[in-house]
Chains A and B, each alone.
Chain A
Amino acid sequence: MKSLFFNMNLLGVFILSISSWQCEDNRIEADLSHLLLSMDTVSIDLISFSSYRVAPNLGSNDRLYLGTKNSLDVPLAFIGIKDHYYWSNSLDSTVTVDSLHFILYSSDSLLTQTSTPNLYFNPDSQFNESKSTYLDFVGYSIADWESIGQPNVIVNTDTSGIFTYTELVWDIMSIDSMLTDTVDSNLIRNFAIQLNNSDTNFIELFSREATSGDGPMDPKVKMYYRQNIEINEDSTFLDTSNVTIYSFGDISIIDPGSIDAESINLGLSNGIGLRSLVSISFDSASIPEGSLIRKALLSLPIDTSGSSDGYNIIVDPIDESVDTADVVFETDPYLGIGYPYRISSDIENGMFIISLKSFLQNITLGNETNLGFKVIANEKNDPFESINFDIENESAKPVLKIIYVSN
């Protein structure tokens, strides 16, 4: 026992001695010029361009357009309203539907009823938001659709009297039986708007993409109803309420007019479906093996006469090569890789500059192959606006500037 006590004391002194030593680690300065890590740059100006056209689809645009602008015609726009169990309210004997409104929104404070479109209804499927183009509606007519007419226009202001938004409200109680048709097993609540008798030739409304989720400016149907709720045998409760039913899809059908394959500009436009291909002479041997790309900025000069700053452009590496000499297509034959290489940036001061670092690095790592890049306008851009690449500009040639570190 005595021995154990002594050994424990000895151990205590030993631990105290070593634990009282405080380690400190400071960097030492030394000549590290022998380290092989070094930085270098490479500039690639062997960049070729070509453009092609596809039938334009405005399904993901955050606006609904009608009319003519910049020689582009939008004769028709479709809005589909979701299926919802409240549609059966009108069939319920305890429920009385007081009003049924189809509502669209605009940011135009000067909109008057005479400049608004007519609303039509059709219970069959008519469009696909992501795929429909003007080619699907050649010779198309909505003459057999149920015409609802023009809306009431309500200009809203905040408490300070400042304009907030304009509502276009159609009373659709007249077609409630069609909206709740139980015989139609494949009922699709399709609405169309068309400028017929208006005093304007162009109108712009909010689409369901304007606000995220079921947003306040989305196209919608609003139902006000009363419901008798039986509390017990002797008494009932009358509940007054409303429900909002949003759209499942909307699209403006834009007609780009006649297409002359010979006169396709090197540029981008959502309205005419103009897209471009950029081919950059870069492969795994363009920088030393094992290098790390720190920056890789592609600079493309833009013709400032026809474009404005803020125009957003998407660059997506091509996933599979396409063996064709055609430049006009119904659907885009060039498939992009997408995430994580699909990137976008705005035009600033007449230049489109974007970082290709991630994709180029993966080319050097052998993970990807350089088949060129698809360059398209962001679907949120104004479809009536287009931009042209200014590749003949001697003072600012298209160039890929790479800063890399090698060892």
Chain B
Amino acid sequence: MCPIKKFIPLIFCLSLLMGQGTMNGFGLGHFYENQGITSAGNGLNSLVPGFQSDVSLSNPSTWHHLKYTHLSLSYSGDENTISDLPLLNRYSGLSYASWIVPIKSKGSFGLALVPYADQRITLTDTDTTSFIAFEDTLSLLKSFDRSGGIMAFKVGTSYLFRENLSVGLSVDMLFGSSRQNESIFFDGSSIIQTSRTRYSGVLAEVFISLARQEKINLFASVKQTLRGLDGIYTEKHLFDDANGNGYHDYGNPLDFPLPDSVSAKNEIRLSGIHKPKQFSFGVQSKLNKQTSISFEFSTIKDKGTIPSSLTLPINNWIDHSNDIKLSLVRFPNDISLDLVDKISFRTGLMYKSHTLALSNAIVSEVGGSLGFGFKFKAVGNQVDLNYYLGKRNYSDIFYKTEIIQQMQVGVSLGDIWFVKRRQK
């Protein structure tokens, strides 16, 4: 376990790198579920097993099929290209971390830390506007920067009720914060309105896995909001960023007014800004002992209300989304000594459709993924590599197409935990 301890801090450090995509500008940001692959070990699948035969990392009702305790980490590099402009954005960060403990093949317990919404974005207005102030004509350029995001700490468990029926539960505790900088540039410097929002909320998701026949497995989940995502919103006083560093500070030349001359405004509680309700269904058909095809459908509606006091980078948010996934997975043969048999293969196609709340415009995405995994050692250690290529179409943004590429690298290490080892 020593190497794991060494690279966990490294991954966390690297996950702080800046980046953005257009979807980050909608509402509370880009929900990670809409960002291609959820983890390198899973591939496109969410409910349907893709990590190991009968195991999906993001479906607790399958966790008890694990033979060993697993620590899984996944790191994602994303690239968004707006071809009309052309404009390229790349970013990377931790995409999945989990620790899952199977309990005598009857149940399981797991903890996971995953990004929930990525809010990083820097926008500039498409047009410069003119303003006549007394005898001067001033050119104004607006911009909006937002950084931060929301994370989810998941506590999951599963229980095998019958040989063919298991139920899982995941409680997702959402937390995070963001900093918004709304600015207007003219006459040599920017006037900036800084605000901060701290988020917290609790979601719950119930999972069911049902083996209908030997070769058919059914999966379903329902996600419900236990406590809607609330935001504690704090707005700072406007300041003239004379030193151009984006912060209200004492740099040279001095920002105006001086930081100590303004007092903080009262915090505003923004209640229920995100209340997702999701239903997902999946079916897996095993073609043979190692290969399966699967189909997943998911629909999610956000019943939250975003108040006008929370300024959004792009003045819209996703009201509801539907997605369909079709995938083919070939799992490794655990007992084979052939190297090729230790390699897993995952591929799939996905279609997503997001409907925006204010304009009813559709953001659609078509994508495909291709991934490989290598299983080694008896405890089922696994290294996974997954690539996703998608094309996103926007109907009401002045550029129409965004190409998304995502590369995920995952490491999963198995071990026997909580067993007293005999001294040699």
Contacts and interface: CB of A to CB of B under 8 A. Distances in A.
Interface of A: 4, 7-8, 10-11, 13-15, 17-19, 21-39, 41, 43, 290-292, 294-295, 357-358, 361-362, 365, 367, 401, 403, 405-407
B142 A23 contact: no
A184 B383 CA distance: 98
Interface stretch (B6-14, B107-115, B158-166, B215-223): B6-14
A407 B191 CA distance: 11
Interface of A is mostly: mixed
B315 interface: yes
A29 B123 contact: yes
Contact of B261 (A27, A32, A362): A362
Given A22-B90, A30-B397, A291-B238, A361 B256 contact: yes
Interface stretch (B64-72, B170-178, B179-187, B288-296): B179-187
Nearest to B396: A31
B239 A25 contact: no
A10 B411 contact: yes
Interface of B: 2-3, 6-7, 10-11, 14, 17-20, 22, 25, 75, 77, 82, 85, 87-92, 121-126, 131, 133-134, 138, 140, 142-144, 182-184, 186-187, 191, 193, 237-240, 256-257, 261-263, 311-315, 383, 397-399, 407, 409, 411
Nearest to B91: A23
Contact of B257 (A11, A36, A41, A358): A358
- Closest CB pairs A-B (n = 4): A292-B238, A34-B315, A21-B77, A32-B125
B311 A35 contact: yes
Contacts of B398: 29, 31
Nearest to A8: B3
Given A14-B7, A41-B134, A31 B184 contact: no
B126 A401 contact: no
B182 A30 contact: no
A32 B143 contact: yes
Contacts of A13: 383
Given A292-B240, A294-B187, A14 B20 contact: no
A398 to B, nearest CB: 15
B6 A11 contact: yes
Contacts of B138: 39
Contacts of B91: 23, 25
Contacts of B238: 37, 290-292, 405-407
B123 A32 contact: yes
A294 B183 CA distance: 13
Q: Which of B239, B257, B315, B411 has the most CB of A within 10 A?
A: B257
Given A22-B90, A23-B90, A401-B134, A28 B3 contact: no
Contacts of B89: 24-26, 28
A28 B82 contact: yes
Contact of A29 (B19, B125, B182, B183): B125
Given A29-B85, A292-B240, A294-B191, 5 more contacts: A28-B22, A28-B82, A30-B125, A34-B311, A35-B182
Contacts of A401: 134
A227 to B, nearest CB: 51
Given A18-B77, A31-B126, A294-B191, A25 B7 contact: no
B125 A15 contact: no
Given A25-B91, A28-B89, A405 B397 contact: no
A292 B126 contact: no
Contacts of B140: 39
B185 to A, nearest CB: 10
B262 A21 contact: no
A23 B124 contact: no
A6 to B, nearest CB: 8
Given A24-B88, A362-B261, A32 B142 contact: yes
A287 to B, nearest CB: 11
Contact of A21 (B85, B186, B407): B407
Contacts of B87: 26, 28
Contacts of B239: 292
B411 A31 contact: no
Nearest to A407: B193
Contacts of B187: 294
Nearest to A361: B257
29 contacts: A4-B2, A10-B383, A18-B11, A18-B92, A18-B409, A23-B17, A23-B90, A23-B91, A24-B89, A26-B88, A28-B87, A29-B398, A30-B397, A32-B123, A33-B125, A35-B311, A36-B182, A37-B142, A39-B138, A41-B134, A292-B191, A294-B191, A295-B133, A358-B256, A361-B257, A362-B257, A365-B257, A365-B262, A406-B238
Contacts of A27: 122-124, 143
Given A292-B191, A362-B261, A407-B238, A18 B123 contact: no
Given A24-B88, A32-B143, A18 B75 contact: yes
B90 to A, nearest CB: 4
A362 B263 CA distance: 11
A41 B399 CA distance: 35
A25 B20 contact: yes
A290 B237 CA distance: 6
A59 to B, nearest CB: 32
A8 B14 CA distance: 19
A27 B183 CA distance: 14
A89 B140 CA distance: 72
Contacts of B125: 29-33
Contact of A28 (B75, B123, B312): B123
B424 to A, nearest CB: 15
Contact of B3 (A7, A23, A26, A406): A7
A28 B121 contact: yes
Contacts of B75: 14, 17-18
Contact of A37 (B19, B182, B399): B182
A365 to B, nearest CB: 6
Nearest to A36: B311
Q: Which of A22, A26, A290 has the most CB of B within 10 A?
A: A26
Nearest to B10: A15
A14 B411 contact: yes
Contacts of A21: 77, 90, 92, 407
A33 B124 CA distance: 11
B29 to A, nearest CB: 14
Contacts of B82: 28
A403 to B, nearest CB: 5
Contacts of A41: 133-134
A28 B14 contact: no
A11 B381 CA distance: 13
Q: Which of B85, B133, B182 has the most CB of A within 10 A?
A: B133
A45 B6 CA distance: 69
Contact of A11 (B7, B133, B240): B7
Nearest to B135: A401
A2 to B, nearest CB: 11
A121 to B, nearest CB: 50
A83 to B, nearest CB: 42
A323 B340 CA distance: 97
A292 B3 contact: no
Contacts of A367: 261
Given A22-B90, A27-B143, A37-B191, A365 B20 contact: no
